[in-house]
Structure 1
Amino acid sequence: MREPAGEPETLRGRADVPGRDVVDSSLVLDWLRRVSTAMHQHQHHLIDLDSAIGDGDHGANMARGFAAVRVTLDAPSRAPTSPGAALAAAGSTLVSVVGGASGPLYGGAFRTWGAALGTAPEVGALRFAAGLTAALATMQRLGAAVPGDKTMIDACSPAVSAFRATAESGGDFASAARAAARAAETGMLATIPLQARKGRAAYLGLRSIGHQDPGATSACYVFRALAEAAGAPVTPSP
């Protein structure tokens, strides 16, 4: 699928306005479109990472899955009217389109997140954080993974903690999203010296050490895109 060079300003959500602490469906749609673009642009990097310690299909799965999410949410007849509805629809699409472990993990997390946000047309950073926390719990339950296992949880868990801590301390949505993106990248890089304890990489034992986890990397792209949609982009490390 051909990806657009950029997003028109009309697709921007309202959380990119300085000091605003609100998330609406346009912000979530903008975010998910950015995730789709990121997965398309970086799919070969994800393939290379997964080929080293897995079965090599993570990049293609993520690109295909989030492209399908984009098609689903961009259909005029199915335009979501709330952040929760957008996330739930994205989750259902990922579950139905993406194979392997990543489809159920990401899909289940997004569906839980959507259910937690409900049908409110706008939600604040604290409620968004509560949904994000519930989504992480679903991901950990389905994957039976904890931080340190060298999985996507190593990026997601610190990102969720950073988002929640920033929101609870009075930070607005943009500040929380930026903190989450930075924490996700730190967690992603921290997988390099770890020995995998879950997934196909676990079969490699000590040979998994020295490789960056592909699931943690795709999770980092998700949180970077959230920060971009919030108007608070972070500069990736070299």
Structure 2
Amino acid sequence: MRTLDVEWAKDWMRRSSATLTEHRMELIDLDRAIGDGDHGENMARGFAVVAQRIDETPPDDVAGVFKLVAQTLMAKVGGAAGPLYGTAFMRAAKASEGDLDAAWVGTLCEAALDGIVARGKATTGEKTMVDAWTPAIAAAKAAADAGRSPAQTLRAAAAAAAEGAEATIPLRATKGRASYLGERSIGHKDPGSTSTAYLLACAADAAEAAESRGR
């Protein structure tokens, strides 16, 4: 499979809903340590509604899936996650047209990051989800330039995001609620970076499943 289509996008969202539900308590615990503790609940609830709406009114293309995700998260997810992820998926929708190739994966990550930065005004090293999206962009572009498939490119992006999330542990938070803790934020993994890594891993899982079916 050399392109990512609407069926991949829908599968991505269904897998994301299942994974965020599975890791709900982990994300809650991470957020309790340095935030207000609602990240896991908000993400699980928001993506459950996304999956339901995709099944009830299936979008016609990838951009349509992303628009539905953006609108749902902005309406249903509280805290910072709703506006940040909602803006990320809206930017991704605007960067999507038709079926998508490996090179587009970097564009997806870049568009998502641009939306997050525009909304949250964060940069790398501040213990936010930016620290997961930024290495994901670099990894995706490198994989696509090396001729990797969309699934391989997404897997590279997901692995880099997971490493970026782990790298937030020794950082001192300087953005958001976590910044109020100062030095006490050191030693904890950022929940937003963690959920970012899970979302990109689900995108890779969906692409690998589609690639297997296409063989």
Give TM class, smaller chain.
over 0.9
More helix by share: 2
Q: TM-score, normalised by structure 1?
A: 0.85
Q: Match for residue 29 of structure 2?
A: 48
2:124 is matched by which residue type in structure 1? P
1:216 is matched by which residue type in structure 2? S
Q: Match for residue 103 of structure 2?
A: 126
CA distance in 2, matches of 1:179, 1:80: 27
Q: Following TM superposition, by how much is the alpha carbon of 1:68 offset from its aligned partner in structure 2, in angstroms?
A: 0.8
Q: What per-residue deviation string (whole Å, max 9, x for no partner) do you get for residues 89-133 of structure 1? A: 111110110011110100111011011113x2x121223432331
CA distance in 2, matches of 1:128, 1:196: 28
Q: Match for residue 5 of structure 2?
A: 24
Q: Following TM superposition, by how much is the alpha carbon of 1:168 offset from its aligned partner in structure 2, in angstroms?
A: 2.6
Q: What per-residue deviation string (whole Å, max 9, x for no partner) do you get for residues 141-195 of structure 1? A: 1111111100111111111221122113321101101101110111010000000
Q: Match for residue 62 of structure 1?
A: 43
Q: Following TM superposition, by how much is the alpha carbon of 1:36 offset from its aligned partner in structure 2, in angstroms?
A: 0.5
Q: Match for residue 71 of structure 2?
A: 92
Moved more, 144-153 or 163-172: 163-172
Identity level (%) = 47
CA distance in 2, matches of 1:163, 1:229: 16
CA distance in 2, matches of 1:206, 1:219: 24
What is the RMSD of the two structures over their aligned residues, measured on CA atoms?
A: 1.2
CA distance in 2, matches of 1:181, 1:79: 26
Q: Match for residue 35 of structure 1?
A: 16
Unaligned runs of 5+ in 2: 210-215
The runs of at least 4 aligned residues of structure 1 exceeding 3 Å deviation read none
1:21 is matched by which residue type in structure 2? R
Unaligned runs of 5+ in 1: 1-19, 233-238
Q: TM-score, normalised by structure 2?
A: 0.94
Q: Match for residue 60 of structure 2?
A: 81
1:68 is matched by which residue type in structure 2? V
